[in-house]
Amino acid sequence: MALARKRILIIIGGGIAAYKTLELIRRLREAEAEVRVVMTEAAKQFVTELSVASLSGGKVFADLFSLTDETEIGHIQLSRDADLLVVAPATADLLAKMAHGLANDLASTLLLATNKKILVAPAMNVRMWLNPATQRNVATLQKDGVLFVGPDDGDMACGEYGPGRMSEPAALLIAIEAALRHDTAIPLPVSPHVGAVDLSGMRVIVTSGPTHEPIDPVRYIANRSSGKQGHALAVAAAAAGAKVVLISGPVVLPDPKGIETRHVQTAAEMLAAVEAALPADIFISAAAVADWRVAEIAEEKIKKGVETTAVLKLAQNPDILHTVAEHKTARPRLVVGFAAETSEMLDRAQAKLARKHCDIIIANDVGAGSDVMGGDENQVTIVSEDKIQALPRMNKDEVARQLIARFAELLQTKSGRGSHG
């Protein structure tokens, strides 16, 4: 378990989202992390020291000038002993103090004195978040290497709507794991810049949906993929000006307007359609391609007979993503795969990145209760060779816009602009 024995210092700021931090502490301890907690004075208005102490299994630190704390551990040591500092919720006030190097209470002093990575989870009213002063502070902190997770868009406790909600504990856990293991950049929502994403002149191929592998004329092997995320990516790429070819397995979604859509049933047909659509600048393999097909498809409907069990012989399907990533003459400049995992998501995503020779893997947890397959929301983590970026849980259309913005950025930094026209 990636979090076992990791020492996490949590700083709870004074915001209504502090209640979510209790759940975060509980989950961190469940994952066997060692948690120490510091609360600001304002935080005590929202959650009690007693509940934090019970959940964290230890003393809560709150006072800069506590003689007992100083003799036992000392505030400099407290900040250095940790593997990671997590500020959740990070209020506008705490962000401002951090950006300006103020140190007038225990929390801000630790943040200034630490030599460890800091991950912040902002939470505040939407106007406070959008205020140029806060945005300036955020930009300063990002430049200083402070990692951000969230804030999410949504209804706020104060009755307004917009960015400002603290990320959910599950997203915070992923961000913490990523921050501990890698040189991460956990981004702010990129929506304000999405309008500026320009893929004009670029060619993008997207696969989407499941494949159906026939057993006989009336039966097939399938999976629960709805095609929503793949189709949304095709739409977002087209909205950014790309010429998109969408290769879709059997889905109930309508073909997106204005996008060339090719329909296939099987993995073999999908591979042929992808190869016919090459070359491209970006290949996005969002389809849930069946790993197996029936070795010999029956020409007639298979009859029950007298046996109470039946055996289907399966043959492995070609790996489309791998084939494209290894293409000798027409490898797209950016090859993106997905990793739908039910456990050990980051490890498996990284293994897949290496095994399939692609540039990026978009990892998502499709375990029971995630409601990702077929659902409208997704929480993805972008895994590349040198970076891991956890995005907040969002609507699949918004996930698609943010991913396309990232891909465009990556292409630009990779080799300057160019295209297959």
**Which of 18, 369, 52 is closest to 166 using CA atoms?**
18
Going by C-beta distance under 8 Å and a sequence separation of 6 or more, which residues neighbour residue 321? 283, 285, 335, 337, 356, 358
Residue of 338, 372, 393, 403 interacting with ligand CTP (CB under 6 A):
338
Residue of 52, 87, 287, 363 interacting with ligand CTP (CB under 6 A):
287
Per CB under 6 A, 337 contacts ligand CTP: yes
Q: Which two tokens stand for residue 139?
A: 């930009």
**Total number of residues binding ligand CTP (CB under 6 A)?**
14
Residue of 321, 382, 391, 405 interacting with ligand CTP (CB under 6 A):
321
Known catalytic membership, residue 158: yes
Residue of 147, 176, 267, 294 interacting with ligand CTP (CB under 6 A):
267
Note whether 94 and 13 are within 8 A (CB).
Answer: yes
CB of 149 to ligand CTP, least distance (A): 24
Note whether 83 and 8 are within 8 A (CB).
Answer: yes
Q: Which range of residues in 12-20, 29-37, 47-55, 284-292 is near ligand CTP by CB under 6 A?
A: 284-292
Per CB under 6 A, 277 contacts ligand CTP: no
Nearest-10 crossing angle of helices 18-30, 169-181: 60
Residue of 137, 317, 379, 381 interacting with ligand CTP (CB under 6 A):
317
Residue of 289, 335, 372, 399 interacting with ligand CTP (CB under 6 A):
289
Residue 156 or 383 with smaller CB distance to ligand CTP: 383
Question: How many angstroms separate the CA atoms of 196 and 183, rounded?
Answer: 27
At 135, give phi and psi (nearest 5°): -65, -35
Per CB under 6 A, 291 contacts ligand CTP: yes
CB of 95 to ligand CTP, least distance (A): 37
Catalytic residue among 139, 157, 158, 330: 158
Q: Which range of residues in 96-104, 111-119, 250-258, 337-345 is near ligand CTP by CB under 6 A?
A: 337-345
Beta strands in 303-345 (DSSP E): 314-316, 334-341
CB of 318 to ligand CTP, least distance (A): 6
Q: Which two tokens stand for residue 80?
A: 């250095």
Per CB under 6 A, 346 contacts ligand CTP: no
∠ CA 77-78-82, rounded to 5°: 105
- How far, CA to CA in Å, does 370 sit from each of 164, 175, 211, 365, 382? 23, 17, 22, 7, 18
Catalytic residues, which ones?
A: 158
* List of residues contacting ligand CTP (CB under 6 A): 267, 285, 287, 289, 291, 317, 319-321, 337-340, 352
